[in-house]
A and B are shown apart, each in its own frame.
Chain A
Amino acid sequence: MSIEQTLNHYSSLSAGLAGESLPWLQAMRQEALALFADRGFPTLRDEDWRYTKLSVLDKTRFETVPQALADPDLLSAYQLEEAYHLVMVNGHFSPELSDGLPASVNGSSLRQALLQQPDQVAEYLGKALPASEHGLITFNNAWFNDGIWLEVGKSQVLDKPIQILHLVTSAQALAATRNIFILHPHAKVEIIETYVGTASSSLTVSINECFLGADAELKLAKLQAEPEKAVHFGGSYVKQARSSRFKHQNFAFGAQIARTDIHTDLFQAAECQLDGLYVAGQRQHLDTLTRINHLQAHGISREFYKGVLDDNARGVFQGRVVVAQDAQKTDSEMNNRNLLLSANAEIDSKPQLEIYADDVKCSHGMTVGQLDEKSMFYLQSRAIDQEAARDLLTFAFANEMVEKVEHTGFKALLHQQLLQRFPAIHL
């Protein structure tokens, strides 16, 4: 399909998009359509996409599908105990499957928020987003159809995490969602995103805009375990006011092609910690791009990503830290460690530092390695066969990231997901 055909196809699906009666939103969508008409989906010519080929998006016409019922087994396999659940099915919010939220949170579907409190939404929607950055952001701006709106009041602390389950259950489904998380000063909340499904093929384009007030704390975790033919784009764009803390944990296990973008803007003394793990096998392609912008002084950022690439899989890690001229006393560390298990696996890792201030402490590092022969022999000499030793050491390498997760149920789910990849381990 040409860009024009793609544009026409998705525009033909756009009757009844969320907030269609709102002029400001219409204007935003028109602007996005014009941008998309010009550039289409990202291509290898875009610097930030040079390792990730999205030609499948030009070949497949994904469809908006009516909200189908979620398979109860799918839901129960991923629904965590000790959490509030918000469920999206094929890109539509499902009130029947979702829990009520405590009074300290103003939460609803984005579609409903656009009907009931459009002025509040207008204050935030699109405000954390680099709208012209690339074609999937543009795509989302043009065609997002629902999502989650969460506003946590000043000094409110949630007693348990909110789990947002994004389920894709229909073949060829398009799930284009926009989620807005607002934490007023001193608020504290934990959100766990779970992207899973049963669809034979699907396209998810999900964007989070996060606004952290002064001294607020957002812990955002993401599990992407979509089916093997899925195409996934998930972006989190974060504004961090003074002394706020943003902690992101990113687990990419599924999909055929998946990309996660994380951008965060840190103002005075804000802190962020980005941890992640990608485990890819077969012909999977898992891509992560992070951008940490230190805009003001005394910010702290920590980033630690691990990757395991097997078979013909390819991993991409692009981590950029930008320290603005005013961001003196910035303290930043970035590390990316990769395990290549096959001669045909590939990792493209690009840690980047751009520093415009003169009094900062920044470091970054990257490693690519194979399994340690000494450890392999040690395990074999303890009666463990080669395959199990390989799986065990790989699991141990990856599991370090899972061990950082605090929520017991989520950690157990991640363990289970990871162990599925290493069948030679018997616990």
Chain B
Amino acid sequence: MLSIQNLHASVGDKPILKGLSLEIAPGEVHAIMGPNGAGKSTLSHVLSGKSGYTVTAGSVTYQGKDLLDMEPEIRAREGVFLAFQYPVEIPGVSNIYLLKAALNAVRKHKGLPEVDAMDFLTLVKDKVKLLQMDEKFLYRAVNEGFSGGEKKRNEILQAAILEPNLCILDETDSGLDIDALRIVSEGVNSLRSPDRAFLMITHYQRLLDYIKPDVVHVLADGRIVKTGGPELALELEEKGYSWLEG
């Protein structure tokens, strides 16, 4: 589904990713762990098309297409979803409006008609229940005044509605207490399916207790320095990152 080959990316003159390669197949859950400054967030931003990054070498192929050639909204319509580390507050735009506009943009891209208003409401209410959110959140401005946990749940709610093929979770566990972490993880787990892949970017192992990865990568200084199974995460938890560097 996703093939990253020898990816080099910089911010300004500063190289951050220095030859990152990664293959993700449908149905797989990959975790990328690494110390601060390794390039974890840069990877998620480059994949989702945020401006401010220059890809200097390498390629990213998503479902056979050049991902880097697409505008951010086209990536989203093609089924790439980024759950933000810091979801943005958008005063004046209601959550339900954004959900509907986003879903319709994706449907239009796929050549499907706009979603029926009643069907949409049923779908949204169903997913809201799944994430144990209050329906009132739908009518509030996007993320405005939401707690950290509510924002992260809202990200997963959006994913649940948009049904992406590739879900990138950027530090989804940061700022969550244990209850919120459990709810968010259950939401993510409910989205797991044989045609959907996940790329979880995280600093800590604890998220992986709730969302079991198939593959764990260690990112250090812009490169994947080690790849293994779930046991690698535990090893990292025990030993820290320093033994991998240098």
Contact = CB atoms under 8 A, between A and B. Distances in A.
Interface of A: 373-375, 377-386, 388-389, 392-393, 395-397, 399-400, 426-427
A382 B98 contact: yes
A374 B158 contact: no
B84 interface: yes
A389 B73 CA distance: 10
Interface string B100-119: 01101110010000000000
Interface stretch (B10-18, B88-96, B193-201, B204-212): B88-96
Interface of B: 48-51, 71-73, 75-77, 81-82, 84, 87-88, 90-93, 97-98, 101-102, 104-106, 109, 141, 158, 162
Please name the 10 residue pairs, one residue from A and one from B, whose CB atoms are nearest each other, closest first. Answer: A396-B92, A383-B105, A383-B76, A378-B88, A380-B72, A382-B102, A380-B73, A383-B102, A396-B93, A385-B73
A386 B73 contact: yes
B90 A381 contact: no
A381 B71 contact: no
A338 to B, nearest CB: 16
A49 B76 CA distance: 49
B91 A382 contact: no
A382 B97 contact: no
A381 B82 contact: yes
A114 to B, nearest CB: 46
Nearest to B79: A383
Contact of A384 (B48, B84, B91, B101): B101
Nearest to B168: A381
A388 B50 CA distance: 17
Given A426-B104, A427-B97, A380 B88 contact: no
A10 B84 CA distance: 64
A377 B51 contact: yes
A392 B139 CA distance: 16
18 contacts: A377-B72, A378-B90, A379-B98, A380-B73, A381-B48, A382-B98, A383-B73, A383-B77, A383-B105, A383-B106, A384-B73, A384-B98, A384-B102, A384-B105, A385-B73, A393-B90, A396-B92, A427-B97
A426 B101 contact: yes
Contacts of B51: 373, 377
B165 to A, nearest CB: 13
A112 to B, nearest CB: 45
B121 to A, nearest CB: 15
Nearest to A402: B92
A399 B158 CA distance: 24
Given A381-B49, A383-B73, A397 B92 contact: yes
Contacts of A380: 49, 71-73, 76
A379 B77 CA distance: 12
Nearest to A394: B92
B28 to A, nearest CB: 22
Contacts of A384: 73, 98, 101-102, 105
Contact of B91 (A381, A396, A427): A396
B188 to A, nearest CB: 18
Contacts of A378: 84, 87-88, 90
A396 B90 contact: yes
Task: Name, among B48, B73, B109, the residue most crowded by chain A CB atoms within 10 Å (CB to CB).
Answer: B73
Contacts of B82: 381
